[in-house]
Amino acid sequence: QMLEDLRGAIPDNVDFFELKAGLRNYKSAQILRIGSRDLCGLASLVEVMAELSGLAAACLQRAYDLCSLQLQKEYGQPLQEDESKIATMTILGMGKLGGYELNFSSDIDLIYCYSSTRGETSGGSRNEKISLHRYFVKLAELITRALHQVTEDGFVFRVDTGLRPDGNNGDLAVSIDGAEVYYESWGQSWERAALIKARPVAGNIALGEELLHRLKPFIYRRYLDFGMVEDIKLMKQKINTSLSRKEEGERNLKLGRGGIREIEFFIQTLQLVNAGTRPQLQQRNSLQMLRLLQEEDLITQEDQQSLGNAYQFLRMVEHRIQVVQEQQTHSLPQNWHDLEVLARRSGFVSCDQFSSELERHRGEVSHIFKDLFYSAEEEEREVRPEANFIFDPESDPDLVKDLLEEKGFTNPDAAYDSLLLLRSGGPNQRLTRRGHRCLETLAPLLIAELLGSPNPDQALNNLEDFLRSIRASNSFFSLLVENPAIVKLLISLFGSSQLLSRIFIQRPELLDTMVSRSYAVATKERHQLQADMTEQMALADDYELQLDSLRRFRNEEFLRVALNDLHGHMQQGEGAKQLSWLAEVCLEQACKMAQQELAGRFGAPSSIDTEGQEQKTAFAIIGMGKLGGLELNYHSDLDVIFVYQQEGETRPVAATDPGRFRQISNGEYFAKLAQRIITVITLATREGTVYEIDTRLRPSGNQGSLVTSLAAFERYHHESAQPWERQAMTKARVVCGPVEFTAQLQQVISELAFERPLPENLQTEIYRLRKRMEEENGREGDDRFNIKTGRGGMVDVEFITQYLQLLHAGRLESLRIQNTVDLLNSMVENHILVQDDADLLISGYKFLRRLENKLRLLYDQSINELSAYNRGFEKAARSLGYSGTGLHQEHEFLKEYQLVTEGIRELFEKYLKPQEAL
């Protein structure tokens, strides 16, 4: 119908310029019609792609007809050698055009082939006869210009002829004999894959069908040779290399992970391997091919549905991207607002919903694509008899359960059920013979690691959930066979930490990150963390990407610390220091991002120094509490105070837009800066948050300004601060800011905390505050303890050290230390504490901190309460590594806990209980 419309709209007597205008006008009208039907849901994706492909074919045919008439006027008819037959040309549509899968802004991939080289034209107005080869090359050039050339009306379709024999080095048109010789002699595997979709779309259709019939032995071989398998593997490697170099990365729907190209490559590879002996697979359309592959039992019904649904979803989104502007793009917008618009245009209520659906499809495609090749090399390794017995489907279930109980599983029935799933490859999976061989190879290591984990039952349950989340495949088990260290790491993690298990089950892609980032590096110096942060952020070129990169960096480094902490690869206290430094570099990066955001509108803050010269005004962040003491733990908030150097107003800088600049006071600028820093850190994106921020320790708490000048900060602590605020200042440490201002501010903090006269009732106030915390927050009983605020808890140790520090650090600068354990050691050196008291406090504090970390990892929340509910004491004992089972572990743990806390409380009363209370 479209061809008939074109014949009416563009009659035979038009010239070349009128032809180009007519084609462009008709194409624009049809794109409007097809696009409207698509956006309004009046046509399916298959119908839209078929109509676009039909539009291209109709335009090509009309261009072929009229360009042929024009050339024949000039050179006469193209006659074959005996002059009894007119030579003709066929136009092969490749790729999406050949498969009836064209986009709104697709290139059309064409190959021009003509019937014979033997003959010449009859001579026309030019009185010149030319060879058939020269004639059809001119015809191909003319048709290409008619569609591809950009005029005031735009273009019809971009034409790509790079798939022709010899590529861009070959002639634009080639005879069918020449094409046959080329492919038989020099054709490569990628050309076989390209020809799978070839379809005659214009010119002499019968000639095109004849050519494709001749090429069938080349495209669809009836045997599978080793060289072809290697070529296919090489094609896959080239695609992977290409994807890794694309700047669009994950945004590219076509070339990115789990994208359209992976689906097409998957289909074409199975066709190349099987269609020679199964002619029914010699089809062009991707969705049709998926159905045929499933009918031939070459893929599962689940994979067919997953790939089919993903293909339609990705192509639909691709259309929504391209229909707005006629641009050949396959990438998601970088701008968050544009992404929201695209999500709504694609039928989703929010960007998060759209992103979740996109990630689901891409994840499924990626897993299936990666499973396409399983290494043919099968390793023969000895398997221990017990592992063989457990994994043998013929083994007696009761005997297997007895063996599991003997090997340390507390719930052998549940363990047996989980192992049944593992034996088959995981939930809802069917492994090939090679997959089962991999599992047999892995069995001894898996069993050994499960038995050696702190909680074998939990480890096995989490392994089951993990396999479900990643759709475990032959390739995954092959990865484990080749990397036994990954098995050890995963099982240890699954048996030790529900927090880390949850992270991996929800985001299994972090496994690749772990392997690539070498988690063998247990500790990093702060400057190395800063360098790694800078390197990662350099890859993000806009605000949204920077937000995600910051979160990914924090998550990856958090995992590094937690995993090495769990495995005992760092000394106690080193993990807290690593987490604290990580928080500092994240705050520094957030500050940089916030300053960049403000510079364009408000410039940079400035002030006048004592000599009347204008200078930049510095800004710093004070870390309080655990952050200040380099004692951060898992699930810690960041307690911070924002301070700026002095009053003034902003001035434009190089990054400032002169047309948008607005001068504001330093106070207003730094308030905006602090708010943006908090947003950068706390905003929830698809990668999560970085930290929670707590600013309640600032002057006047929640009633005070978010930021304060240095002068106001000093004034408040001299005139208005409560005793507990002075006590809190003992942990204050500048964690972000320029070197000179950091030193200046740290000196002010030291003077405010330690060089002012102490209140006469300091001991009474600290003791009263501690008792109130115990009463209001501890809430202990016979079966419930609070390791932080309860009797003999961590706060007892911290209050002892802070009270003694306030008493003596005024004269002893070596006591001006924020870290609790370091401070206790310094107090021994300065004869403030006797060695026995310090040892008890240090060992007790480390025990409670270690328990706190284990509980937070175990329960995946900020928890300080320990109770008998749901076997809480037993779980705590197991996580700390107490030997034995059940009640014995619990008894040994509670005995040590009570010994530690009673010893700490005794020293608390010794050092802090006021005389009048004795």
DSSP state of 864: -
pLDDT of 226 reads: 39
DSSP state of 870: G
- For residue 239, the model assigns a pLDDT of 54
Largest CA distance in the chain: 127
Average pLDDT over residues 125-154: 92
Burial of 651 (0-12, 13-18, 19+ CB in 10 A): middle
pTM passes above 0.75: no
Q: What pLDDT sits at residue 769?
A: 94
446 with 472: CB under 8 angstroms? no
The burial class, CB within 10 Å (0-12 / 13-18 / 19+), for 628 is: buried
Pairing, β 707-709 against β 865-867: unpaired
**Does an H or E element contain 835, and which?**
helix 835-859
Which CATH superfamily groups domain 226-331+340-370?
A: Nucleotidyltransferases  domain 2 (1.20.120.330)
Instruction: Print burial letters for 515-550: b (CB count within 10 Å at least 16), e (below 16).
Output: eeeebeebbbeeeebbebbeebbeebeeebebbebb
**Residue (of 712, 709, 726, 674) closest to 695 by Cα position:** 674
The verdict on domain 534-754 having CATH code 3.30.460.10 is yes
b/e code 12-36 from CB counts within 10 Å (16+ = b): eebeeeebbebbbebbeebbeebbe
pLDDT-above-70 percentage for the chain: 88
Q: Residue 603's Cα: distance from chain center in Å?
A: 34
Q: What is the pLDDT of residue 383?
A: 36
- Mean pLDDT confidence for 39-57: 92
- Report, as an integer, the average pLDDT of 215-224: 78
| Least confident among 18-32, 455-469, 505-519 | 505-519
Residue 173 pLDDT: 95
Strands 614-616 vs 119-121: parallel, antiparallel or unpaired: unpaired
CATH superfamily of 2-219: Beta Polymerase, domain 2 (3.30.460.10)
Determine how β-strand 78-80 pairs with β-strand 119-121. antiparallel
Residue 225 is predicted with a pLDDT of: 42
Q: Is the pLDDT of residue 620 over 50?
A: yes
Measured CA to CA, the distance from residue 719 to residue 724 in angstroms comes to 14
* Mean pLDDT on 378-390: 48
CA dist 913 and 909 (Å) reads: 5
What's the confidence (pLDDT) of residue 382? 37
Question: What percentage of the chain reaches a pLDDT higher than 90?
Answer: 53
**What is the residue-wise DSSP string for 748-780?**
HHHHHHHSSPPPTTHHHHHHHHHHHHIIIII--
Mean pLDDT of 219-224: 70
For the residues 765-773, what does the mean pLDDT come to?
93
Question: 780 in the Ramachandran plot: left (φ > 0), alpha (ψ -120 to 50) or beta?
Answer: beta
**Same fold yes or no, 2-219 and 226-331+340-370:** no
**pLDDT value of position 610:** 77
The residues with which 331 forms a beta bridge, in sequence order, are: 252
Q: Which residues lie closer than 8 Å to 555 by C-beta, 6 or more apart?
A: 503, 510, 687, 688
Cα separation of 145 and 13, whole Å? 19
Highest mean pLDDT among 164-173, 439-448, 477-486: 164-173
Provide the pLDDT for residue 246: 46
Distance separating alpha carbons of residues 419 and 463, to the nearest angstrom:
10
Q: Quick one: tokens of 112?
A: 């021009």
Residue 111 main-chain phi, psi, to 5 deg: -125, 125
Residue predicted with more confidence, 193 or 668: 668
Residue that the structure tokens 């998060």 belong to: 352
DSSP3 helix / strand / coil % (the chain, rounded to 5): 60, 10, 30
Q: For 827-882, write each residue's pLDDT tens digit.
A: 999 999 999 999 999 999 999 999 998 888 877 778 888 887 766 787 777 778 77
3-state secondary structure of 733: strand
- Gap between the Cα atoms of 237 and 890, Å rounded: 54
pLDDT for the residue numbered 208: 96
Residue 514 banded pLDDT, cuts 50, 70, 90: low
Residue 60: HSE in the Cβ half-sphere, 13 Å Cα cutoff: 28
CB contact at 8 A, 441 and 379: yes
Domain ranges of the chain: 2-219, 226-331+340-370, 385-496, 534-754, 762-917
User: For residues 168, 171, 173 and 174, what is the CA-based torsion angle, rounded to 10 degrees?
Assistant: -110
pLDDT greater than 80 at residue 427? no
Lowest pLDDT segment from 380-394, 569-583, 632-646, 691-705: 380-394
The larger pLDDT score, comparing residue 685 to residue 481, is at 685
Higher pLDDT, 512 or 763: 763
Span 43-51, mean pLDDT?
92
Q: Which residue has the higher pLDDT, 192 or 699?
A: 699
**Range among 335-339, 463-467, 503-507, 849-853 rated most confident:** 849-853
Q: Where are the alpha helices (DSSP H) in 246-347?
A: 260-274, 286-295, 301-322, 336-345
Closest CA to 625 of 551, 713, 696, 526: 696
More confident: 766 or 319: 766
pLDDT at residue 705 greater than cutoff 60: yes
Q: What is the mean pLDDT of residues 663-688?
A: 94
**Contact predicate 691/682, CB 8 Å:** yes
Task: Band the pLDDT of 379: cuts 50, 70, 90.
Answer: very low
**C-alpha dist (Å) from residue 683 to 86, 249, 579, 590, 642:** 71, 23, 20, 11, 19
Greater confidence, 92 or 610?
A: 92
Please give the CATH number for the structural domain made up of 385-496. Answer: 1.20.120
Q: Please state the rounded mean pLDDT for residues 620-643.
A: 96
CATH number for region 762-917: 1.20.120.330
CB atoms within 10 A of CB 436: 17
Say if residue 29's pLDDT is above 70: yes
Burial class (CB in 10 A: 0-12, 13-18, 19+), 11: exposed
Q: Three-state SS string across 669-697, please? A: HHHHHHHHHHHHHHCCECCECCCCEECCC
SS (H, E, C) 149-191: CCECCECCCEEECCCCCCHHHCCCEEEHHHHHHHHHHHCCHHH
More confident residue, 820 or 38: 820
Q: How does residue 886 score in pLDDT terms, banded at 50, 70 and 90? A: low
Q: For position 430, what pLDDT does the model report?
A: 56
8 A C-beta contact, residue 254 and residue 330: yes
